[in-house]
A and B are shown apart, each in its own frame.
Chain A
Amino acid sequence: MDTSAQLKQIQSFVNKLGVMRLKDLIKAVRNCKTAADERAVIAKESAFIRTQFKEENNDTRHINVSKLLYIFMLGYPAHFGQIECLKLVASNKFSDKRLGYLGIMLLLDENQEVLTLVTNSLKNDLNHSNMFNVGLALCTLGNISSIEMARDLSSEVEKLLGNTNTYIRKKAALCALRIIRKVPDLMENYVERANKLLNEEKNHAILLTGTSLLTEMCQMDKNVLNDTRKNVPRLVRILRNLITNNFSAEHDVNGVADPFLQVQILRLLRLLGHNNVEASDLMNDVLAQVATNTDNSKNVGNSILYETVLTIMNIESEKSLQVMAINILGRFLSNRDNNIKYVALTTLCQVASILTDSSSLQRHSSTIIDCIKDTDISIRKRAIDLAFILMNRQNIRVLARELLVSLETTTNEEKAKISRRLCECANRYKPNKRWEIDTVCRVLKIAGGYVEQDVINNFIRLVSTSSTELQQYATSKLYNILCKREDNIECQEGLQLATIWCIGEYCDLLLQSPLDDSLANADEDENNTTVTNEIPTENEVVDLLEHLLEGSSVTNKIKQYIIIALIKLTNKLDPGSRGRAISLITKYKTNINLELQQRAVEFTSLDTLSDDIRSVVLDRMPALENIKENRKQNLGVSESSLLSSDEQLDTKNSNDLLGMILGESSSTSSNTKPLEKSSSSSSNIMDLLGDIQMGTSSMPPLTPSNNSSSNNLVNQMDNLNLMNTSIPPKIDQNNSLNNLLSLGNIMQPSSSSTIQPSNSTTSITPSIAEPKKEENVLYYKNGLKIVFDAYNENPIIIALKTKYIADPSYVIDKINLLVAVPKSMKLQINPPSATVCTPDSPINQLIKIANPSKAPIKIRIKLSYATNGRQINEMFDYSSFSESLWT
């Protein structure tokens, strides 16, 4: 050792003096008694590290970066260490590199520009002679690669995939997996090598990573999938060897041979056998072998059985094998281990649709009911899903009772979903109408604060189409629930709305003695209610409305419902009570809410009209019947055909009503037509009626200007008409329209989600004919909805008229849409009409696809936009195009 080297070493030692070691920092932090102490220690040390970084001290960099990573883990800022990590990576020392790459993986994410600086270091290390340096680089690239890095370094990884060192090859395989995830175009460079990895049947790590890589490729590309089928016999052989042959201690987990590899192979087989009889036939035997030979006493064995079941259910497997799979799930379901139970429920939900007959599932319904009551939300959620799938006319009473119980305890977000589905099922499988009314009432009582508007609308329709006896029954039932004036009941907005509507419509029935005594008996599902329903007096009814109007949980929407109910009551009450109702309305003539104010003004002036006009205006609503049939018709034809719905209505009543209003309002009627359908004046009103029907069924696309609020129209028919007569001229047209449509600031954003086809009531009636020119939803998230119209310009060119729509109160900015099509197609994207999308100004964009080979069209979308200051990047595939576009 010569002196200069010694000197250097001493110098380096001196440099490190005065620098706190990592261990000391951790101890200091752990000794902090309070969070403030901790912050102080960190702040001081961060400042120290910062100055050290500025001094470019090579000897202390390692220590300082490792301290900084610790600080970062505690949740404090550490971005100023990014460049230092790069410097460490560039060092010749392995320990520096190791820490540097760790820092890069922790401190940098894909979107940071610093990342481009890493590319060069990675390239150097990928070509390094030391396998561990290569390993570090592959690991870093595999974990944080961006699109640019993937492109730049792909050829290096390709080369390494053929390296003789298995340590490098396995890492390169997973690195390749990341690269093709980022840049799917690069996939073809890897296909051959990936298939070759399977040749190394003795090496588990290579087999495992190779299978993972192939699985990813097969998911992404059909051609690779078809090509990989040639490997089925090999995969089957590997799997069979694993379960039958030689025990290898190195890969044994609790007596199961390499479960990780087994699962990965099963997963790949699932893709290869899906919709392919030939490949499936090759697998049947080995799947049966795995299903019978795997030890099911431990988690590890069950993880394989679980994967096997999924594979069996997703390929063209033999019937006997499917029975075996269902039996395994049955055993899972009765397993005491909750994890096993959970996966059984999840899997059953998935396979229930594949099963041709659900009787094998129905056998387990008692277990499923037990799971509905489980305290564990994961299990409960899945069990509830499954219960809805299994629900039918025979078991709905039992299942609904359990679901109602679970509704009381579940989380608020769940309440909305369960309520909606329960009401839908109640409608579809109801044993009788009264049962449906009872059930929905209970739903509203438990979760009325969380249900969406269309649940209430459907209930209103249900009551309105029932017999008079049932209308009376429902009204007095609801009235009695609210009469108890319990806070936890009164906070259920949905319950209030339904009750108020019923009182408004059927108050006269409420004030009569029961028409059908048998109905008044305690309902089956709620035997605890003491039905001492005395007939209320007029005053009591108005009292209740007044109480609700001034209650603590009143909302604008409730106020609106109440005001309408009150004006409707004036038709049915004695003069004394009528005066009270009017004076309650009068209070709102000066309300700050424009909608309420306007209604109050209109209603009070309505009250001054002559009795016969008033009584007709305020007469009971016609029954909202046959919604589904109407909708079928309407969907099948164009917008204007809404008119046809009037034929379905019992029109005598409404015609009277409408005729009268038309007589008075012809001068302003054009002002108020929200639907821009000018036609004769009577069709104008019919439009409204049509719309009302549309509204309750939550099918917005036909009323372009008011998709979220058409629901409200239902209950406001009279108002709409009234508005014709009395819109103050000073309110400009747009404004009043908007108000009319949104009727106060009511519709929560969540209600817009009800419009999604998947949730909407379409699911009840799958038989509904699809409209010719359907609106396809390409994307709907974060308040941005992208829909398109697809049509053939000529047999080869397909045009996609794309429209970006922002949900109310959303502003979507910096929209950038990239589209990729398979190689056989050509693409032309026209620039969008704007880059900022607001609820009032949707954006249009035309995309054309040339498809000379007439292949099924699929596109990959890369979408980026900003909303609420958040940048969102999405990538997804879309292939649900109508086949008629290319056939």
Chain B
Amino acid sequence: MINFMLLVSRQGKVRLTKWFNSNWTTKERSKIVKEVSSLVLSRRTKMCNVIEYKELKIVYRRYASLFFIAGIDANDNELLCLEIIHRYVEVLDRYFGNVCELDLIFNFNKAYYILDELLIAGELQEPSKKAVLRVIAQQDSLAEGEEYSVQ
């Protein structure tokens, strides 16, 4: 399973944190975020995208100025995890239309909503991009509809 998912900018700013297991307290979580980000940021481009960290494996990939980082169990498939990360990026890209870091900063809640349609309990719930985008659009219009309606 994916234990956590992080989005960290090249400067080390955290753009998203999502936890799928509750083994850690809030304090431990922020320590993990710090340690993992500095591990990932110190990697050179040609190195492999996996780092061993505690009993977990950190799988990450850089997209432009953002690192997408996942902490998976030691016996999980690292290569597939890269595909899951890529899938998330693809959906973001399609949703925002050529996504950039600023989109994710100003619409961080959207980034979370999309992730929630991809993963539950640290497992992938939907292998189809289209299906994810469809339900996100539906929920968006549901929410927007309320904004203008009078209660």
Contact = CB atoms under 8 A, between A and B. Distances in A.
Interface of A: 1, 5, 8-9, 22-23, 26, 30, 66, 69-70, 73-75, 93-95, 98-99, 102, 105-106, 109-111, 132, 135, 138-139, 142-144, 146, 167, 170-171, 174-175, 177-178, 181, 204-205, 208-209, 212, 250-251, 253, 258-261, 263, 267, 299-300, 302-303, 306-307, 338-343, 375-379, 381, 871, 873
14 contacts: A9-B150, A26-B105, A75-B14, A93-B146, A109-B24, A109-B29, A209-B123, A260-B124, A299-B82, A338-B49, A339-B49, A339-B79, A376-B43, A378-B48
B139 A306 contact: no
B36 to A, nearest CB: 14
A175 B121 contact: yes
A376 to B, nearest CB: 4
Contact of B79 (A110, A343, A375, A376): A343
B20 A111 contact: no
Interface stretch (B62-70, B91-99, B109-117): B109-117
Contacts of B135: 132, 135, 167
Nearest to A263: B80
Contact of A338 (B48, B87, B129, B146): B48
B77 A306 contact: yes
B17 A261 contact: no
A99 B109 contact: yes
Contact of A342 (B16, B30, B50): B50
B109 A69 contact: yes
Contact of B147 (A66, A95, A106): A95
A31 B129 CA distance: 36
Contacts of B26: 109
Contacts, number: 175
A303 B82 contact: yes
Q: Could you say which interface size class chain B belongs to?
A: 35 or more
Most A CB contacts (10 A, CB to CB) among B25, B125, B151 go to: B125
A94 B146 contact: yes
B84 interface: yes
A306 B79 contact: yes
Nearest to B22: A110
Contacts of A261: 127
A94 B131 CA distance: 20
Interface in B16-40: 16-20, 22-26, 29-30
B83 A253 contact: yes
A208 B108 contact: no
A208 B127 contact: yes
Given A109-B22, A342-B48, A251 B127 contact: yes
Contacts of A871: 25
A99 B110 CA distance: 10
A745 to B, nearest CB: 29
A260 B30 contact: no
Contacts of B78: 339, 342-343
A102 B112 contact: yes
B108 A70 contact: yes
Nearest to A341: B48
Contact of B113 (A69, A102, A138, A340): A102
Contacts of A306: 77, 79
Contacts of B109: 66, 69, 99, 102
A261 B16 CA distance: 27
B123 A111 contact: no
Contacts of B124: 208, 212, 260
Contacts of B150: 1, 5, 8-9
Nearest to B79: A303
Interface in B115-151: 116, 120-121, 123-131, 135, 138-139, 142-144, 146-147, 150-151
A205 B128 contact: yes
A699 to B, nearest CB: 27
B14 A73 contact: yes
A381 B52 contact: yes
Given A98-B139, A263-B77, A146 B22 contact: yes
A293 B45 CA distance: 31
A621 to B, nearest CB: 42
A340 B112 CA distance: 30
A307 B80 contact: yes
Contacts of B84: 260
Contacts of A8: 150-151
Per DSSP, chain A at the interface is helix
Contacts of A167: 135
Given A73-B17, A94-B146, A339-B50, A259 B80 contact: yes
A2 to B, nearest CB: 10
A259 B83 contact: yes
Contact of A75 (B30, B127, B139): B30
Given A98-B143, A378-B48, A170 B82 contact: no
Contact of B128 (A177, A250, A340, A342): A250
B122 to A, nearest CB: 8
Most A CB contacts (10 A, CB to CB) among B120, B123, B124, B147 go to: B120
Contact of B48 (A94, A146, A258, A379): A379
A314 to B, nearest CB: 11
A379 B106 CA distance: 37
B102 to A, nearest CB: 9
B144 to A, nearest CB: 8
A-B pairs with the 5 shortest C-beta distances? A303-B79, A110-B22, A338-B48, A95-B143, A174-B120
Contacts of A209: 123, 125
Nearest to B128: A250
B51 interface: yes
B146 A95 contact: yes
Given A23-B106, A94-B139, A170-B126, 15 more contacts: A8-B151, A9-B150, A95-B142, A95-B147, A143-B121, A181-B121, A205-B128, A208-B125, A303-B82, A306-B79, A342-B50, A376-B44, A378-B47, A378-B50, A379-B47
Nearest to B145: A94
Contacts of A98: 113, 139, 143
A613 B22 CA distance: 67
B83 A303 contact: yes
A759 B130 CA distance: 51
Contacts of A377: 51
A174 B128 CA distance: 16
A653 B128 CA distance: 80
Given A73-B17, A143-B121, A209-B125, A260 B50 contact: no
Given A143-B121, A251-B128, A378-B52, A94 B22 contact: no
Contacts of B121: 142-143, 174-175, 177-178, 181
A258 B127 contact: yes
A313 to B, nearest CB: 13
Contacts of A175: 120-121
Contact of A132 (B16, B46, B48, B138): B138
Given A73-B108, A177-B123, A251-B127, A143 B83 contact: no
Nearest to A5: B150
A360 to B, nearest CB: 23
B79 A299 contact: yes
Contacts of B143: 93-95, 98
Nearest to B144: A95
A375 to B, nearest CB: 7
Contact of B120 (A5, A69, A139): A139
A135 B116 CA distance: 10
A120 to B, nearest CB: 20
A142 B122 CA distance: 9
Given A263-B80, A338-B47, A250 B130 contact: yes
Nearest to B105: A26
A881 B129 CA distance: 48
Contacts of B108: 69-70, 73
A303 B128 contact: no
A111 B14 CA distance: 24
B48 A339 contact: yes
A99 to B, nearest CB: 7
A766 to B, nearest CB: 25
